């Protein structure tokens, strides 16, 4: 059956609460900050919020149910999206269909996480059953070690070099210098990248994101609602989602996007050439490179060549992770799965400020989440399109 | 090629002894099966009873057909290394002290992909043989070993941390009069132990073999009577801080059932075999537990030589069998109490030893030499549960598969 489009449903009010490396504030605090800023802009009283979708690793012992009472909300539609780096796109998919069906008028999608000292280690310890049983007892390198294995295999298979990954990180840092809320505020050169200490070979310091606290949010509503409230908005051209794809691949050299990307472009009615900017999930540059391939911007194995041939900065021919991505802004837990989407909404609605890509109309956002055992399990992507104002 | 382990420097009393830390200890219930296999030196994985798919990581349902009938079976350990990394940063205190740490991803010939420790002599692309080993947390973990390792492969730091290798270690054998003492001392010497302390009770009693033992290099006879709390405490105070491996060979054995048995013998059996073990645990346990991270000759293992009658009694030795079952129970408690330190308790179950007390019994019997070899091999492999001899191997297998059936068979009456 051919999937229905997202006609009449839009995204609006992108909000990023500036990140902090270590903070004693809770996920509740961060989510409240994002929600307040967003509802104020949309002129919605908290009590009147209709729908609420939450992604967070650090709400325990609460769930979004507890948040409704904690924050004084009374939604008729409540969702929790536990897909980590794929949370933003997947929250969007759920909310858009609910709005389209009339189950709810406005959904606030929010991701936020706390980061106290030592909370990253604690988060890892209880991350998943397979990681507890079958990865952490092996050196406890966390995601760095798991992705080091993928990167090692990827380099051996396709001949990508550290310079190629360095180029992605360096371009993102250049973008981040134009994004006031990025935690990384100093320029990064390729030689600094190359000379950085190894963390889990071949992953070096600037391949890694910095865990931090923060929140990201956006609203999903009907187009007429956005117009009524005079909110700039973005339309949804297509979305995809996939979990545990290619389970028989011995090591992850491709993600679930490969299974669904053709459908995404056919929903959108165009190919990759029509995309003005790309936001990939960049927990490591190797994963961004994999997305260049799996999202159809180049063939499998040609990611390194693609990076060599393109300028990935805001003013370049292939603007990528325009706010600096998690590599330069920071990884605020589940908010890392929202960062690219929120930035993309800003871009296509002309609200990106210093990081604005000229004439940005169409953006692709992709998410990648949850290294449950030896690979990222969730993949998702969306194409969104600005309306102008 | 693995660099040979250097002889450890003498302990510097001015330095704080490193406090033992453990690798991550928490596991799901299903994953405990890895430890069961590792404790016995086997390589076993879950197999789906319905479709045959081999599972890893351990699951509660088959990832091919959703059957919940999963069974642990011996599995082909052949594998190939897909990718490797060297971890240089870890937030975990145990690994942080041991960085850099190599790990990798291997494809098992049996199907699953396994994230594992890499022995220093293996790299990406290599064919390897997988082993399940107990780590310091006492949990079963996967290690990729070279197909054909070098002579010093056992000195690899990753493997060394999972083994209780006697090389460069100091060992206390609690009863020098045991027929096992001499072959054990000789085997330990060959395995590279640097000092062997032999406990001698009632040294005023002359006994055959004393001179030969006393003449051995690096072997010292020291007064120790496990039935005397003060004697155990005295020796523990003297050498407790330098015992890296303790092998309890003290055993009181007399034939006799229950109805016609002599309760004095039974009491003496409990005194030596059960309370003696408790006294040793109280005397030597704390010092050994405090030294499980003390460099290359850290304390590693406690060995109990038990009769396989600990699992099922031989009617002719009812009183003795009760002491063995009780000693096994004490050993289980010791495992729990030692677990925070990583000190391993290895139980070696033996069939009837070829000695004076089993003289009228028919073969097969276990020669003290073979028993000594089993102890050394078990230490090198880092095992927890070992059988020695055909009778014990058979009984342990039967006990593991169906203890109730074993009891009925032991009782007699079947054809």
In chain A, DSSP finds a helix count (H) and a strand count (E) of: 14, 11
Shared domain for A248 and A335, answered yes or no, is yes
Sheet with B70-74: list strands edge to edge.
Answer: B54-55, B44-48, B70-74
Shared domain for A191 and A324, answered yes or no, is yes
Q: Which of B83, B86, B139 has the CB atom closest to A153's CB atom?
A: B83
Quick one: angle between helices B276-290 and B229-239, nearest 10? 20
Q: At A202, is the secondary structure helix, strand, or coil?
A: coil
User: How far away is chain A from the Cα of B115, in angstroms, using its nearest Cα?
Assistant: 6
Report CB contact under 8 Å: A198, B114: no
pLDDT-based confidence at residue A389 (cuts at 50, 70, 90): very low
Residue numbers in B near A149 (CB within 8 A): 82-85, 103-105, 115
pLDDT-based confidence at residue B413 (cuts at 50, 70, 90): low
Report CB contact under 8 Å: A199, B88: yes
Question: Closest chain A residue to B94 measured between Cα atoms?
Answer: A139
User: How far away is chain A from the Cα of B295, in angstroms, using its nearest Cα?
Assistant: 19
Shared domain for A112 and A13, answered yes or no, is yes
User: How far away is chain B from the Cα of A260, in angstroms, using its nearest Cα?
Assistant: 22
Report CB contact under 8 Å: B87, A145: yes
Residue numbers in A near B117 (CB within 8 A): 138-139
Query: Beta strands B78-87 and B127-134: pairing type?
Result: antiparallel
The whole-number pLDDT of residue B35 equals 98
User: What CATH number does the domain containing A83 carry?
Assistant: 3.40.47.10
Return mean pLDDT, chain B: 96
Could you give the CA distance from residue A331 to residue A36 in angstroms, rounded to a whole number?
22
pLDDT-based confidence at residue B415 (cuts at 50, 70, 90): low
Shared domain for A360 and A382, answered yes or no, is yes
Residue A144, in any domain of the structure: yes
Q: Express each pLDDT in B56-89 by its tens digit.
A: 999 999 999 999 999 999 999 999 999 999 999 9
Single residue among A186, A201, A228 that ends a domain in this structure:
A228
Report CB contact under 8 Å: B116, A138: yes
Q: What is the value of ipTM here, to two decimals?
A: 0.93
Report CB contact under 8 Å: A152, B124: yes
Shared domain for A244 and A339, answered yes or no, is yes
Backbone angles phi, psi at B160, to 5 degrees: -60, -40
Could you give the CA distance from residue A259 to residue A240 in angstroms, rounded to a whole number?
10
Q: Residue A375 sits in which domain range?
A: 127-209+234-386
Report CB contact under 8 Å: B124, A202: no
Question: For residue B368, what is the enclosing H or E element?
Answer: helix B368-381
The whole-number pLDDT of residue B139 equals 98
Is the pLDDT at B361 greater than 90? The verdict is: no
Q: Go through B108-133 and write b for each residue having 16 or more CB atoms within 10 A of its CB, e for each that does not.
A: bebbbbbbbbbbbbbebebebbbbbb
Shared domain for A55 and A179, answered yes or no, is no
Residue A4, in any domain of the structure: no
Question: Closest chain A residue to B97 measured between Cα atoms?
Answer: A139
Shared domain for A265 and A190, answered yes or no, is yes
The whole-number pLDDT of residue B401 equals 92
Residue numbers in B near A197 (CB within 8 A): 88
Residue A293, in any domain of the structure: yes
Instruction: Using CA atoms of B100, A186, A289, A134 in order, give the dihedral in degrees to the nearest 10.
Output: 30
Give start-end residues of each CATH 3.40.50.720 domain in chain B.
Answer: 170-411
Residue A2, in any domain of the structure: no
Report CB contact under 8 Å: A148, B94: no
Could you give the CA distance from residue A68 to residue A47 in angstroms, rounded to a whole number?
10
Q: Which of A118, A130, A152 has the CB atom closest to B85's CB atom?
A: A152
Shared domain for A113 and A133, answered yes or no, is no
Residue numbers in B near A118 (CB within 8 A): 91
Mutate which of B83, B111, B139 to test chain A, going by most A C-beta atoms within 10 A? B83
Could you give the CA distance from residue B302 to residue B344 in angstroms, rounded to a whole number?
6
Question: For residue A371, what is the enclosing H or E element?
Answer: strand A362-371
Report CB contact under 8 Å: B85, A197: no
Query: Beta strands A198-200 and A106-113: pairing type?
Result: unpaired
C-alpha distances in angstroms, A239 versus A92, A94, A381? 9, 11, 6
Shared domain for A166 and A312, answered yes or no, is yes
pLDDT-based confidence at residue B113 (cuts at 50, 70, 90): very high
Mutate which of A118, A127, A138 to test chain B, going by most B C-beta atoms within 10 A? A138
* Superfamily, domain B170-411: NAD(P)-binding Rossmann-like Domain (3.40.50.720)
Q: Express each pLDDT in B224-270 by its tens digit.
A: 999 999 999 999 999 999 999 999 999 999 999 999 889 999 999 99
What single DSSP character describes residue B17?
P
Q: Express each pLDDT in A100-125 by its tens digit.
A: 999 999 999 999 999 998 887 877 77
Residue A109, in any domain of the structure: yes
The whole-number pLDDT of residue A2 equals 84
Instruction: Kindly state the average pLDDT of the residues B142-171.
Output: 96
Contact between residue A345 and residue A218 where contact means Cβ atoms under 8 Å apart = yes
With pLDDT > 90 as the criterion, what percentage of chain A qualifies?
A: 96
Question: Closest chain A residue to B98 measured between Cα atoms?
Answer: A139
Report CB contact under 8 Å: A140, B90: yes
Shared domain for A169 and A131, answered yes or no, is yes
- Residue B238: both structure tokens together: 């003297």
Residue numbers in B near A120 (CB within 8 A): 91
Residue A1, in any domain of the structure: no
Question: Closest chain B residue to A120 measured between Cα atoms?
Answer: B91
Question: For residue B195, what is the enclosing H or E element?
Answer: strand B195-200
Report CB contact under 8 Å: A134, B139: no
Shared domain for A205 and A218, answered yes or no, is no
- Give the A:B interface size as CB pairs under 8 Å: 121
Instruction: Kindly state the average pLDDT of the residues A216-243.
Output: 98
Shared domain for A156 and A242, answered yes or no, is yes
pLDDT-based confidence at residue B404 (cuts at 50, 70, 90): very high
Task: Give the total number of structural domains in chain A.
Answer: 2
**Start-end of H helices in chain A:** 27-42, 64-71, 87-101, 119-125, 129-134, 142-158, 162-176, 190-195, 223-228, 257-268, 285-294, 303-309, 325-329, 336-348
Contact between residue A115 and residue A213 where contact means Cβ atoms under 8 Å apart = yes
The whole-number pLDDT of residue B261 equals 86
């Amino acid at each position: 059956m051919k999937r229905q489009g997202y006609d009449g449903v839009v995204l609006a009010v992108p909000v990023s609460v500036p990140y902090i490396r270590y903070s004693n504030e809770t996920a509740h605090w961060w989510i409240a900050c994002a929600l307040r800023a967003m509802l104020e802009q949309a002129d919605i009283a908290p009590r009147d919020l209709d729908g609420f979708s939450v992604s967070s690793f650090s709400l325990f012992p609460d769930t979004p149910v507890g948040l409704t009472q904690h924050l004084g909300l009374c939604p008729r539609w409540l969702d929790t999206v536990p897909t980590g780096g794929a949370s933003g796109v997947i929250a969007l998919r759920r909310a858009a269909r609910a709005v389209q069906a009339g189950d709810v008028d406005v959904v606030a999608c929010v991701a936020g996480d706390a980061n106290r000292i030592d909370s990253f280690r604690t988060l890892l310890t209880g991350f998943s059953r397979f990681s507890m049983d079958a990865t952490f007892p092996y050196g406890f390198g966390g995601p760095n070690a798991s992705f080091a294995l993928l990167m090692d295999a990827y380099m051996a298979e396709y001949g990508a070099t550290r310079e190629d990954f360095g180029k992605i990180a360096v371009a993102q840092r250049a973008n981040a210098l134009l994004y006031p809320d990025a935690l990384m505020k100093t320029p990064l050169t390729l030689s600094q990248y190359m000379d950085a200490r190894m963390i889990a070979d071949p992953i070096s310091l600037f391949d890694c994101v910095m865990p931090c606290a923060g929140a990201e949010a956006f609203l999903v509503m009907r187009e007429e609602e956005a117009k009524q409230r005079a909110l700039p908005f973005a339309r949804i051209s297509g979305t995809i989602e996939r979990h545990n794809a290619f389970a028989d691949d011995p090591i992850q050299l491709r993600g679930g996007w490969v299974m669904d990307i053709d459908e995404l472009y056919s929903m959108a009615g165009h190919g990759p050439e029509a995309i003005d900017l790309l936001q990939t999930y960049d927990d490591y540059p190797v994963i961004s490179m994999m997305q260049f391939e799996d999202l159809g911007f180049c063939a499998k194995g040609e990611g390194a060549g693609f990076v060599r041939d393109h300028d990935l900065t805001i003013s370049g021919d292939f603007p990528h992770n325009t706010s600096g991505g998690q590599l330069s802004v920071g990884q605020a837990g589940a908010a890392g799965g929202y960062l690219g989407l929120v930035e993309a909404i800003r871009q296509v609605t002309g609200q990106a400020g210093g990081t604005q890509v000229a004439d940005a109309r169409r953006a692709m956002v992709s998410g990648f989440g949850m290294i449950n055992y030896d690979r990222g399990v969730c993949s998702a992507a969306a194409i969104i399109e600005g309306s102008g104002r | 090629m693995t660099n040979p382990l250097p002889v450890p420097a003498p302990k510097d009393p001015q330095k704080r002894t490193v406090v033992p830390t453990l690798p991550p200890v928490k596991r799901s219930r299903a994953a405990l099966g890895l430890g069961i296999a590792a404790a016995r030196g086997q390589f076993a994985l879950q197999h789906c009873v319905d479709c045959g798919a081999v599972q890893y990581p351990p699951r509660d349902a088959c990832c091919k057909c959703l059957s919940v009938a999963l069974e642990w079976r011996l599995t082909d350990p052949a594998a190939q290394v897909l990718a490797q990394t060297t971890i240089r940063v870890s937030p975990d205190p145990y690994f942080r002290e041991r960085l850099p740490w190599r790990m990798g991803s291997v494809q098992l010939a049996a199907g699953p992909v396994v994230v594992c420790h890499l022995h220093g002599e293996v790299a990406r692309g290599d064919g390897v043989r997988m082993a399940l080993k107990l780590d310091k947390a006492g949990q079963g973990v996967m290690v990729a070993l070279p197909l054909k390792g070098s002579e010093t492969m056992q000195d690899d730091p990753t493997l060394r941390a999972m083994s209780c290798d006697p090389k460069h270690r100091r060992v206390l054998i609690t009863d020098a009069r045991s027929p096992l003492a001499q072959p054990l001392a000789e085997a330990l010497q060959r395995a590279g132990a640097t000092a062997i302390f032999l406990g001698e009770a009632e040294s005023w009693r002359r006994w055959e073999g004393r001179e030969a033992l006393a003449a051995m290099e690096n072997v010292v006879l020291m007064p120790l009577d496990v039935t005397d709390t003060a004697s155990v405490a005295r020796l523990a105070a003297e050498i407790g801080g330098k015992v890296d491996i303790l092998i309890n060979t003290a055993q009181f054995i007399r034939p006799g059932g229950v109805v016609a048995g002599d309760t004095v013998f039974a009491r003496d059996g409990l005194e030596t075999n059960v309370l003696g073990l408790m006294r040793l645990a109280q005397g030597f346990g704390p010092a050994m537990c405090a030294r499980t991270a003390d460099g290359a000759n850290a304390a590693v293992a406690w060995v109990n030589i038990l009769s396989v009658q600990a699992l099922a009694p031989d009617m002719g030795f009812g009183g003795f069998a009760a002491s063995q079952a009780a000693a096994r129970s004490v050993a289980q408690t010791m495992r729990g109490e030692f677990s925070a330190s990583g000190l391993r308790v290895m139980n070696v179950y033996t069939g009837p030893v070829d000695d004076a007390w089993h003289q009228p019994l028919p073969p097969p019997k276990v020669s003290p030499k073979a028993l000594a070899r089993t102890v050394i091999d078990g230490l090198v492999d880092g095992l927890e549960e070992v059988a020695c001899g055909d009778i014990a191997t058979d009984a342990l297998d039967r006990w593991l598969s169906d203890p109730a059936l074993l009891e009925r068979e032991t009782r007699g009456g079947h054809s």
